[in-house]
Amino acid sequence: MKPPLLEITDLSVAYQTDTGPVMALRGANLVARAGEVIGIVGESGCGKSTLAAAVMNLLPATAKVTGGAVRFLGQDILTLAPQAQRALRGTAMAMIFQDPMTAFNPVLTIGDHLVDFQHQSRAPYRAKLARARDQLALVGLSDPDVILRRYPHQLSGGMRQRVAIAAALLMNPQVLVADEPTTALDVTTEAQILHLLRNLRQTYQGTIVVISHHLGVVAELCDRVYVMYAGQVVEQAMVDDLFHAARHPYTRALLACDPASFPNLTPVLPTIPGRLPDLRDPPKGCSFAPRCALRSARCTVAPPWAQVSPSHGVLCHEVGA
Amino acid sequence: MLSYALQRVGLALVILIVVMLAMYGMVFLVPGDPASVALGPRATPALKALLTERMGLDQPVLVQIWRFFSHTLQGDLGVDVWSKRPVLDQIAEAFPHTLILGIVALGWALVLGIALGVISVVYQGRWVDRVLGVVSVSFISVPSFVVAIYLLLIFAVWLHWLPAIGAGKPGDVTSQIKALILPSLAVGIGWVGYLARMVRASMLEIMGANHVRTARAFGLPERRVVLRYALRLAIVPTISVIAMGLGSILSSAVFVETVFSRPGLGTLITGAVFKRNYPVVMGTVLVTTAFYLLVITAADLLIAKLDPRVRDALAD
């Protein structure tokens, strides 16, 4: 069997801080095959952006990979020479960032950016510019020639995010990582960008990894979802299973808190009691246990990963197996 | 953009007029009658009267101011009280020396300062960065005339590599360049340190920005990221600082020209102040102020040219 396009095994990442290392990722696993759209959900601080950065090899200098591997087509990219890592970025894998307002350099035009981003191609300048123009048209920008000459601040947030998507697709990457692609946008623009990303699925052959704290976005776009909590993947399921047959108590609690799921107005929005564990000193047992309604004596021991079906796994003593 | 340019030029003219009025006021505020101070205690009344008339100080104040401004507009800055040579000629003689000194000093600052700043950023936190930090701060802290004296001692007196005084032989470019090296270093070295620190701080902020991460996410080579994505943006705020710094470069040129006995505006103005040679003082201040305003205005326009955000904000 062909190796999966992207495979993250047992990845652990710690950020060095003045008060000691913060274990942002603790043995995260993820598999993505060509053509799949993967969702990663979880609340702020659960490690989903660290995971995205690790895939792109863009971890900040304070972050250290303490274990595990990120394999692209079977090859561990974390052990590649910096030059080889760089060669993958932009060509084999590309990223769409959260904040389109600051994602572009204010003194360069959109055209400058889009041509620069094709630096690994040997095509002449004019060909690159033409390619940039085609991509802009593809993401639904009506006047690509004008956009190419514009500076980032002259475009709206939605237009900039379209440009960001066009930029990410310039070199036909096999892996596209979208880190909170709609979080910084207003609701109307968000709907347009979601629509665009969904249309993209028809033509794009590679894998898309969508990171979001927004369950609606994940439901709209993804085939398969990973739910993260405190640096670990706690549940993995097909999107329908996740929304209709979630097993992990955290996933259930998260779904119960989604305002979109309430048919009527409620006087008080439900929340998950308690808070995230301190990742400088992560709990020995199940990290969700202190906030969990189902916890029992065995939750003080780290739970095993259990497959409840071939496509549905969960990290829990109580509901697994 | 054009209306912005006109606005800036208009503002510069207003400032120039205010500065000249303030200068004129100073002549009257300085204790003692200029003519008797200039001539000393043993001057005869007839001589005093002659000098007062020659300086135009026998006229009512308003007439004096009117004369000064109308003559200035006609390109006449008056004549030197002592030598009777036109002030404009003296300035025209001295100004190029100071201008080239300032430009070369600024050149040192730009080339070395930006280079050191970029190197600091590339080696951020490592020993290279720390050493450069100490070096830059010492460059900033040492006054230019101290640097001038040390340079003079080491390179001219001990090593005999470079000339100690003067501006080189007229017509001999090599000797002029040699004569320029030490004074320009003395003037510019503080700015080397200052610019290095500024470029470093400004670049570090930009290197953490999202758009730099975007550039990296597309696998752009680090060189390209630093030079095209970060430096280009980091230069913008330094431009106005450099323009402002030109004022301090001109004032340190006064000391440095004295140390190296270079002809120039510095030498001209110090001599004139000591001799209460008011027309020369006024003329020199007028020319330096005008030059300074010109540079600042040019810097503002350059920033608008380089930063599309500023350009657009002006267009609105």
Q: Which domains does chain A have, with CATH numbers?
A: 6-92+176-189+209-284 (3.40.50.300)
Question: Is the distance from CB of A168 to CB of A94 less than 8 angstroms?
Answer: yes
Question: Is the distance from CB of A56 to CB of B215 less than 8 angstroms?
Answer: no
Does A94 lie at the interface with B, CB-CB under 8 angstroms?
Answer: yes
Whether the per-residue pLDDT at A298 is higher than 90: the answer is no
Residue B86, classed as helix, strand or coil, is: strand
Does B130 lie at the interface with A, CB-CB under 8 angstroms?
Answer: no
Backbone dihedral angles phi then psi of residue A31, each to the nearest 5 degrees: -130, 135
What pLDDT does residue A46 have?
A: 84
Q: Are strands A224-229 and A207-212 parallel, antiparallel or unpaired?
A: unpaired
Whether the per-residue pLDDT at A184 is higher than 90: the answer is no
Whether the per-residue pLDDT at A225 is higher than 90: the answer is yes
Pairwise CB contact (< 8 Å): A151 & B308: yes
Question: Any residues with CB less than 8 A from the CB of B17 and at least 6 apart, and which?
Answer: B69
The string of DSSP codes covering chain B is -HHHHHHHHHHHHHHHHHHHHHHHHHHHHSSS-HHHHHH-TT--HHHHHHHHHHTTTTS-HHHHHHHHHHHHHTT---B-TTT--BHHHHHHHHHHHHHHHHHHHHHHHHHHHHHHHHHHHHTTTSHHHHHHHHHHHHHHHS-HHHHHHHHIIIIIIIS--S-SSSS--TT-HHHHHHHHHHHHHHHHHHHHHHHHHHHHHHHHHHHTSHHHHHHHHTT--HHHIIIIIIIHHHHHHHHHHHHHHHHHHHHHHHHHHHHTT--SHHHHHHHHHHTT-HHHHHHHHHHHHHHHHHHHHHHHHHHHHH-HHHHHHHH-
How many whole angstroms separate alpha carbon B129 and alpha carbon B119?
A: 7
How many whole angstroms separate alpha carbon B283 and alpha carbon B195?
A: 32
Tally of domains within chain B: 1
What pLDDT does residue A111 have?
A: 92
What pLDDT does residue B309 have?
A: 83
What pLDDT does residue B278 have?
A: 77
Does A58 lie at the interface with B, CB-CB under 8 angstroms?
Answer: yes
How many whole angstroms separate alpha carbon B116 and alpha carbon B126?
A: 14
> Does residue B176 sit within a domain?
yes
Whether the per-residue pLDDT at A1 is higher than 60: the answer is no
Beta bridge partners of A13: A25, A65
Pairwise CB contact (< 8 Å): A94 & B215: no
Beta bridge partners of A76: A71
Using 50, 70 and 90 to split pLDDT, how confident is the model at A57? Answer: confident
Average pLDDT per 10 consecutive residues for chain B, totaling 316 residues: 81 86 75 70 79 75 80 77 79 84 86 90 87 87 81 81 72 76 83 88 86 88 86 84 78 78 82 79 83 85 83 74
C-alpha dist (Å) from residue A253 to A309, B133, B187, B201 = 21, 53, 68, 45
Does B305 lie at the interface with A, CB-CB under 8 angstroms?
Answer: no
How many whole angstroms separate alpha carbon A47 and alpha carbon A229?
A: 8
> Does residue B145 sit within a domain?
yes
Pairwise CB contact (< 8 Å): B210 & A103: yes
How many whole angstroms separate alpha carbon B215 and alpha carbon B233?
A: 14
What token pair was written down for B171?
A: 């017509």
Q: What is the mean pLDDT of chain A?
A: 86
Nearest residue, CB atoms, A120 vs list B213, B219, B232: B219
Residue A171, classed as helix, strand or coil, is: coil
What pLDDT does residue B32 have?
A: 67
> Does residue B53 sit within a domain?
no
Chain A positions touching B232 (Cβ under 8 A) are 105, 107-108
Give the residue on B whose Cα is nearest the Cα of A97. B214
Between A241 and B148, residue with greater pLDDT: A241
What pLDDT does residue A133 have?
A: 92
Using 50, 70 and 90 to split pLDDT, how confident is the model at A2? Answer: low
Using 50, 70 and 90 to split pLDDT, how confident is the model at A200? Answer: confident
AA letter at A93:
M
Residue B202, classed as helix, strand or coil, is: helix
CATH number at residue B230: 1.10.3720.10
> Does residue B235 sit within a domain?
yes
What token pair was written down for B22?
A: 């303030």
Q: What is the CA radius of gyration of chain B?
A: 24
What token pair was written down for B32?
A: 């003692």
- Name the residue with tokens 């010109």: B294
Does A52 lie at the interface with B, CB-CB under 8 angstroms?
Answer: no
Chain B positions touching A94 (Cβ under 8 A) are 217-218
Q: List the strands of the sheet with A175-179, edge to edge.
A: A93-96, A175-179, A207-212, A37-41, A224-229, A232-238, A312-315, A305-309
> Does residue B1 sit within a domain?
no
Question: Is the distance from CB of A319 to CB of A286 less than 8 angstroms?
Answer: no
How many whole angstroms separate alpha carbon B20 and alpha carbon B293?
A: 13
How many whole angstroms separate alpha carbon B309 and alpha carbon A152?
A: 9
Q: What is the mean pLDDT of residues A135-143?
A: 88
> Does residue B19 sit within a domain?
no
Pairwise CB contact (< 8 Å): B309 & A119: no
Whether the per-residue pLDDT at A226 is higher than 90: the answer is yes
Beta bridge partners of A15: A22, A63
Question: Any residues with CB less than 8 A from the CB of B153 and at least 6 apart, and which?
Answer: none
Pairwise CB contact (< 8 Å): A119 & B229: no
- Name the residue with tokens 């095959």: A33
Pairwise CB contact (< 8 Å): B308 & A97: no
What token pair was written down for A59?
A: 């971890």
Whether the per-residue pLDDT at A40 is higher than 90: the answer is yes
How many whole angstroms separate alpha carbon A74 and alpha carbon A3?
A: 6
How many whole angstroms separate alpha carbon B98 and alpha carbon B15?
A: 23
Whether the per-residue pLDDT at A109 is higher than 70: the answer is yes
Whether the per-residue pLDDT at A55 is higher than 90: the answer is no
Using 50, 70 and 90 to split pLDDT, how confident is the model at A261? Answer: low
Q: What is the mean pLDDT of residues A109-132?
A: 90
Chain B positions touching A56 (Cβ under 8 A) are 217
> Does residue B185 sit within a domain?
yes
Give the residue on A whose Cα is nearest the Cα of B230. A105
Question: Is the distance from CB of B12 to CB of B296 less than 8 angstroms?
Answer: yes
Residue A92, classed as helix, strand or coil, is: coil
Give the residue on A whose Cα is nearest the Cα of B229. A105
Q: What is the mean pLDDT of residues A301-306?
A: 86
CA–CA min distance A321, chain B (Å): 40
Give the residue on A whose Cα is nearest the Cα of B306. A107
Q: Residue A202 is inside which H or E element, if any? A: helix A187-203
Interface list for B 201-260 with A (CB within 8 A): 209-221, 224, 228-229, 232-233, 236
The string of DSSP codes covering B167-189 is S--TT-HHHHHHHHHHHHHHHHH
ipTM: 0.84
Q: What is the mean pLDDT of residues A33-60?
A: 87
How many whole angstroms separate alpha carbon A258 and alpha carbon A280?
A: 29
Which of B213, B218, B228, B239 best probes binding to A when mutated, by most A CB atoms within 10 angstroms?
Answer: B218
What pLDDT does residue A110 have?
A: 92
Which of B122, B124, B203, B214 best probes binding to A when mutated, by most A CB atoms within 10 angstroms?
Answer: B214
Question: Is the distance from CB of B189 to CB of B144 less than 8 angstroms?
Answer: yes
What token pair was written down for B142?
A: 């040492």
- Which letter does DSSP use for residue A282 in this model? -
What token pair was written down for B79?
A: 């004549």
Pairwise CB contact (< 8 Å): B210 & A107: no
What pLDDT does residue A115 have?
A: 92
> Does residue B313 sit within a domain?
no
Domain ranges, residue B166? 94-274
**Cα-based angle B240, B16, B259 (whole degrees, multiple of 5):** 70
Whether the per-residue pLDDT at A156 is higher than 80: the answer is yes
Question: Is the distance from CB of B96 to CB of B248 less than 8 angstroms?
Answer: no
